Amino acid sequence: MLFKASFESVSLLLFMAIPGFIIAKRHMIVKEQAVSFISILLLYVCTPFVTINSFLKQNYDPSVVINLVVVFVFVSFLIISLAYIGKMIVHVLLKKVDPEEKRMISYAGAFSNAGYMAIPFLQLLFPGDPLVLLYATAGITAFNLVSWTFGIYLLTGDKKTMNIKKAFLNPATLSFLFVLPLYLFNINFVKFPLTGLQNTIQFFSTMVGPLAMTLVGIELSDMNFKELFTDIKPYLSSLIRLIISPILAFCLILLISLFYDMSAVKVNLITIAAVPSANNIMMFCSRLGKSTKLPAKMVIISTIISIITIPVALTLFT
């Protein structure tokens, strides 16, 4: 039953990429401008509203706060562990590959598309359940903090490029830090129902899925499909991201479950571990003056393969 539901959810998400693909393929937009606009809308508006909406629909519960901390620490540890596992695998299997591309593969294998894939996937799989999304926002906060620090270092090999300021001042982290005190003091829509404001926030939060997948469709329109199927590097990063990651997450959950009940957050953690490579690798590579060709291929390939691997991971590990 879970396989069928998760398969349908992933399929619907990928179906949402079709309009973006067609519009870009027919040159109805200026691709660079469209990608920039959608990325900004997702980063500065939709994702923060997901966090705010999830917290303000819940009454304060101390057990939830503990679970938020568990998710944050778990996701941070998982990302860093996967990065080093990826480095070892790449070192053994791709000895002649350029070191810069090796670092990209390690990043794509370690960092999942937590915000733009896990969130809309969970929205489809658990409609009307803000608690599931609440835990996911802790994972996104961990993702952002680690990506702007350790992630940048992973891509460059230079600790000076780590950006602590960006790690805390990006919209996703700021929205989490803004709404957390409101949650702790029980200031929410349950206690203070403001229907108009609540609906507005809800509308923006549900835009994450369509916009994120439109972005994937636009990026896919420029791909050389022959290259997609002949380059082994995207498949190696997908192996780390889609196979090794959920297996490692499951093993960690089993270990932690020996002394703490992980049932409330298990689906969130497996989902974050199982979703494709993070889109932000393309943004980081562009900012660092690196080619975005390989990162784009890794994101696209992992997204396509995930239509099978996400349902399998959730069925086996939850």
The pLDDT tens digits for 117-137 are 898 899 888 887 888 889 999
Q: Within 10 Å of residue 207's Cβ, how many Cβ atoms?
A: 17
Whether residue 168 has pLDDT greater than 90: no
Q: 16 lies in which domain range?
A: 2-317
CATH number at residue 176: 1.20.1530.20
- Chain centroid to Cα 80, Å, comes to 15
Task: Identify the band that residue 94 occupies on the pLDDT scale cut at 50, 70 and 90.
Answer: confident
Q: What is the mean pLDDT of residues 209-224?
A: 85
Rg of the chain, C-alpha, whole Å? 19
Q: What is the pTM of this model?
A: 0.91
Q: What is the mean pLDDT of residues 139-162?
A: 90
Q: Report how many domains make up the chain.
A: 1
The pLDDT tens digits for 239-273 are 999 999 999 999 999 999 999 999 999 999 999 99
Average pLDDT score over the chain: 90
What are the φ/ψ torsions at residue 231 (nearest 5 degrees)? Answer: -95, 120
CA separation for the pair 23, 132 (Å, rounded): 33
Whether residue 142 has pLDDT greater than 90: yes
Whether residue 223 has pLDDT greater than 80: no
